[in-house]
Chains A and B, each alone.
Chain A
């Protein structure tokens, strides 16, 4: 679970005191105006079986420092991310914290729509499942 000495641009390790929960900040570095000047905080949760099992990765919100949940058609307003890489079907144990962060940066980079997923309000209000137990349907090949 070691991070390389130098992380790619726009990725900062915030907290990694144990092997259960890590916090990282990411920025979109290519100047996509949707995300310019903002920093987003990611929470990684690792099970005992990591990296055989995917980590649970969500965006977390805070006001100090300001860390909003990025607008994206596959990111719910409670921070839950719909990305095949983070799901059982799409995960591979050769992924790591760094590659997940880079994938999320790239997912944001390519986005042009400032919107939430369809049904966001209901999902956020009624969802009690953990991200890993949700059966997302991956239908969008563009991101």
Chain B
């Protein structure tokens, strides 16, 4: 018996390589979701991991809008150490895991 595959549909799912139950400490939404102001999760609302290993949704609304505040003094909201991005490259491209 010969089977000919005429058509197939691939389905892929993605998620951030982060602990399951963890949420962004600022907006309290899951990392796999968006912050409360973005429309699409993933590359449109990427995460930023700090050298202190605390991570947040990155663009505009969570960690960046905090760091723009003068009173933030460029410190991590979680541990108040100076906030430095752990991996500039990953942050810039929104390096997601499949």
A residues apposed to B, CB below 8 Å: 1-2, 49, 51-53, 88-89, 91-94, 96
Contacts and interface: CB of A to CB of B under 8 A. Distances in A.
Interface of B: 25-28, 62, 65-66, 69, 71, 77-78, 80
Contacts of A93: 25-26, 62, 66, 77
Nearest to A51: B26
A94 B26 contact: yes
A2 B77 CA distance: 19
B71 A94 contact: no
**Chain B binding surface, main DSSP class:** loop
A66 B96 CA distance: 53
B69 A94 contact: no
B28 A2 contact: yes
A45 to B, nearest CB: 18
A94 B65 contact: no
B28 to A, nearest CB: 6
A28 to B, nearest CB: 27
Given A89-B71, A94-B77, A52 B66 contact: yes
